[in-house]
Amino acid sequence: MMKRLLLIPVLLFITGAFLGAQSGDRYEPNNSATGAYALSGTSLRLTDLSLEEDDEDWFRFTLSQAQTLSIGTEGGIDTVMTIYGPNSASEVFAENDDANDGYNAGIKAAFSSPGIYYIKIEGYSGDSGPYTLFINPIVLTPDPNEPNNTRSQAKSLDISSLPKTLSLIPDANGGDTDWFILRFPSFQYQDNEGLAIYTTGESDTYIELYLGDELIAENDDSGGDYNARVTFIPQRQRNNTNYYLVVRGYSEEETGDYVLHAETVYVVLDKNEPNNTRTQATPISVNQVLSGNTLSDSDTEDWFTFTVAGRGNYIIGTEGDVDTNIELYRSGDDGSSINSDDDSGDNYNALLIANLEPGTYFIRVTHYSGDDEEYSIFVRPQSENKNIL
């Protein structure tokens, strides 16, 4: 009788251990590509999924023709998603961590090749809990400007025709890039009058603006909700020098509509522009205060250069309403800064003291964020000989 009583707890323990090993949702075991759960169709929501700690959930779906899809997760856990294919469980097609709300993964992409695709869902740093997986078809607005994926294919764009709905549609060669030649037939070319060009919509856009071959502005998220925005002062076009506008997705997989806008804005003129690169650095003398500089979300850095005749401690800083950051470089070095500062001056201005040898130096000024605001920059000797670098 005693042996039978002992056998019952042992059986209960073994059964519990077995059930624990098989815990999870009803789609398990799908912890590998070979066990991937087959999904039916490309318009679905699976609301009863869960991830155990350090778990992976694999799914697969089949496309008989090219299709643009939005695939992602919803829920309270931090998910990471990787899509493989076509017809391969090892070739990465797209991957994402936090594109959707609440640290959920999301991918919008054009699946241009038919075949079998695999989805792997895992928790970031082993995160676990319930989640929802969805797949939705994306219906895109036809883009009449295609093909305009290169500078040579750039389409003429009159800013007076904006706003206009356009699309980013990646193909088998990669992400979609829209090129335009800007036209300003009604622009008045008045002092302090500029143009802001920006996107709205759910697509995560990136904008580049060129004058001829020179990049004069670029931006990622200043338009709000991951939309891009650049501001500039158009100059009358001469010698067939065009303004080229480039709109692309932040990632190659970005797919969806966006609305392109243009509006006239007041801008503060920066008399020291262009000085957006080291080779364009504006000269400043020791004991000089150089005013009238501006930074904005489309003009993100200013460069200055000065020469030191004798060894000593020098104070370098800015004044104004801009939250500035300063980096100091020595001519002839490997390109690494020798000193930097963010907020040591008043009102979030940068201020640093450096012990400098005779030679030529460069200052790179950037800002935290914001619209056009003026600031001044100065270089002067420090009266006390403190050995600081």
- Residue 85 φ then ψ, to 5°: 135, -175
Q: Tell me the Ramachandran region of residue 274: left when phi exceeds 0, alpha when psi lies from -120 to 50, beta otherwise.
A: beta
Q: Is the pLDDT of residue 68 over 60?
A: yes
pLDDT digit string (tens) for 180-211?
999 987 776 676 678 899 999 988 999 999 98
Identify whether the C-beta of residue 349 lies closer than 8 Å to the C-beta of residue 319.
yes
- CA 288, CA 282: separation in Å to the nearest integer? 13
pLDDT at residue 17 tops 50: no
Q: What is the DSSP string of 229-255?
A: EEEE------TTPPEEEEEEESSTT--
- Same fold? 24-137, 151-266: yes
pLDDT tens digits along 237-296: 555 689 999 999 988 778 888 999 999 887 766 778 778 889 889 999 999 999 988 887
pLDDT, residue 239, reads: 56
Give me the pLDDT at residue 269, please: 67
Asked if residues 377 and 317 have their Cβ atoms less than 8 Å apart, the reply is yes
CB–CB of 281/361 below 8 Å? no
Edge-to-edge order in the sheet of strand 359-367: 282-283, 301-308, 359-367, 324-330, 339-341
Higher pLDDT, 153 or 296: 153
> CA dist 55 to 23, 49, 51, 333, Å?
11, 12, 6, 49
Give the pLDDT of residue 238. Answer: 55
- In the structure, what pLDDT confidence band is assigned to residue 334 with cuts at 50, 70 and 90? confident
CATH number of 278-381: 2.60.120.380
pLDDT value of position 194: 82
pTM, 2 dp: 0.57
Is the link from the previous residue into 114 a cis peptide, with omega within 30 of 0? no
Phi and psi of 126, rounded to 5°?
80, 15
Domain boundaries, the chain: 24-137, 151-266, 278-381
**Mean pLDDT score, 353-374:** 86
11-30 burial string, b = 16+ CB within 10 Å, else e? eeeeeeeeeeeeebbebbeb
SS3 149: coil
> What integer pLDDT is reported at residue 184 of this predicted model?
85
DSSP result, 77-128: S-EEEEEE-SS-SSSEEEEESSSBGGGB-EEEEEE-S-EEEEEEEEEGGG--
Nearest-CA neighbor of 165 among 253, 256, 228, 251? Answer: 256
How many C-beta atoms surround the C-beta of residue 8 within 10 A?
A: 9
Asked if the model's pLDDT at residue 346 lies above 70, the reply is yes
Question: What is the mean predicted confidence (pLDDT) over 297-302?
Answer: 75
Cβ distance 106 to 133 under 8 Å?
Answer: no
pLDDT > 70 in the chain, percent: 87
Topology of domain 151-266, per CATH?
A: Jelly Rolls (2.60.120)
CATH code for residues 24-137: 2.60.120.380
Query: What average pLDDT does the structure give for the chain?
Result: 85
The pLDDT value given to residue 266: 77
- What mean pLDDT do residues 139-153 have? 86
